[in-house]
Amino acid sequence: MSYFAYGVRGLLTAVFLIAVAGKVGRAGAFSAFADSLRPLAAVSGSVVRAAALAVVAAECAVCLALILPFASATLAGLPAATALLTVFTVGIARSVGRGTTVRCRCFGRSAAPLGRAHVVRNGLLAAVAGAGVVATVVSGPAGGTDPGMVAVAWCAGAVAGGLVTVAEDLVSLFRPVAPSVTE
């Protein structure tokens, strides 16, 4: 497997692990995530909790497949991540196109509504996951055998994945601050 593929695995594992933790890691987080699916109109009201549970289960399954040190797990996890991110991208794009205002619960709590930036982020992540599939298939299990380089690639990917999950917050640090009205 290529070092690039190891990096992609680290990136996607971090992204999906943080997403799962944000959705189930605190009291009320799962309910807030499930409620955020209602305005997306992707599922009917009675199936929302089941759909939310399916999303979290799929994210957990992707994490597990990407962490396991087996080529077969990677060859299942990377396409699954690609498909899941593509579904997220299309669902958010449809919501944005309809003008629906929904808070982003991708990584837990956020005040920001879903928008074009979320479509771009998920689209890029899906493209990276797809590139990871190609890199894995092309290089096969023989590539990338130096354990130190594997660790560096994996960790670099995980750091990049962590940054992806807080990119919205990082960008907000550089936005102009509105003047306060004190009088």
**In this structure, are residues 136 and 74 in contact, taking their beta carbons and an 8 Å threshold?**
yes
Enumerate residues 6+ apart whose C-beta is below 8 A from 156: 7, 10
Cβ atoms within 10 Å of 88's Cβ, excluding its own: 20
Residue written as tokens 């807030």? Answer: 32
For 113, the 3-state DSSP assignment is strand
- Of the two residues 177 and 92, the one the predictor is more confident about is 92
Cβ atoms within 10 Å of 7's Cβ, excluding its own: 25
pLDDT recorded at residue 34 = 86
pLDDT recorded at residue 104 = 77
Residue written as tokens 């550089």? Answer: 174
- Of the two residues 180 and 159, the one the predictor is more confident about is 159
For 69, the 3-state DSSP assignment is coil
Instruction: Give per-residue pLDDT as tens, 83-119.
Output: 999 999 998 899 889 888 887 778 776 767 888 989 9
CA–chain centroid gap for 79, Å, is 14
- Of the two residues 1 and 16, the one the predictor is more confident about is 16
- Of the two residues 14 and 39, the one the predictor is more confident about is 14
Residue written as tokens 């205002």? Answer: 101
Q: What residues pair up with 103 in beta bridges, in sequence order?
A: 113
Give the mean pLDDT of the chain: 88
pLDDT recorded at residue 21 = 93
Residue written as tokens 């990338």? Answer: 144
Q: What residues pair up with 113 in beta bridges, in sequence order?
A: 103
Instruction: Give per-residue pLDDT as tens, 114-148.
Output: 889 899 999 999 999 999 999 999 987 666 778 99
Kindly tell me if the per-residue pLDDT of 75 is higher than 80: yes
Taking each helix axis as running N to C, give the angle between helix 3-24 and helix 29-37, from 0 to 180 degrees, rounded to the nearest 10: 100
pLDDT recorded at residue 119 = 92
For 156-174, what is the mean pLDDT?
A: 88
CA-based nearest residue to 163, from 112, 125, 113, 111: 125
